[in-house]
Amino acid sequence: MPEISANAVKELRDRTGSGMMDCKTALTETGGNVEKAIDYLREKGLAKAAKKSARTASDGRVFHYVHTNCKVGALLELNSETDFVAKTDEFNALGHELAMHITAANPLYLRPEDVPEADLEREKAIYHQQLLDEGRPVDKLDRIIEGKVKKFYETTCLLEQPYIRDGNRKIKDLLVDLIAKLGENIVIRRFARFMIGE
């Protein structure tokens, strides 16, 4: 078993925000490999978040962001289980970041399940016709359309969107990470984006 240095633990802690003992365990489990340890912590975070997702989050805060030109902004309700967590720096930082992200990325829905069936079917019909016009093989259309629908969700659904500050992470990953760190269920309840003239 490799000796885990304090520097490696500190680096992992700085990069993930996880507790010191969790970082040490992750490094031990992954043979001291920091990148693998990050994945290990994310997987554990997903497991923790899944356990907490059934718990009611009825406290929280409303956040706002208005762009410097004062022409576009967003409101967001972010919920936690307790007022204690809603007052933490981490919770408030996430709320601010999400409001800024909504202003910049203009999501239309919170999650894929929120997309009306009629809208989804219309998108699929458009993709189908485009692919036929491009001469794509008919037997491959369903798989290609499936990929386009996934991309549609990543463009229009907040939880599926790549985070504006780090395109390798989705908004839902930010939530999972904070749930794992704070130990409470955290939920984006609703949001609205406002733009002058829209």
Model-wide pTM > 0.75 = no
Looking at residue 14, which CATH number applies to its domain?
1.10.8.10
Same domain, 98 and 181: yes
Same domain, 47 and 73: no
Number of domains observed in the structure of the chain:
3
Same domain, 98 and 186: yes
Same domain, 75 and 97: yes
1 belongs to a structural domain: no
181 belongs to a structural domain: yes
DSSP string covering 108-160: SBSSGGGS-HHHHHHHHHHHHHHHHHTT--GGGHHHHHHHHHHHHHHHHBGGG
Q: What's the pLDDT score for residue 91? A: 95
**Containing structural domain, residue 127:** 116-155
Same domain, 168 and 186: yes
The one-digit pLDDT tens for each residue of the chain (198 residues) are 567 888 888 887 777 666 677 788 888 888 888 888 877 777 776 555 555 555 566 789 999 999 999 999 999 999 998 889 999 999 999 999 999 999 999 999 999 999 999 999 999 999 988 888 888 888 888 888 999 999 999 999 999 999 999 988 999 999 988 888 888 889 999 999 999 987
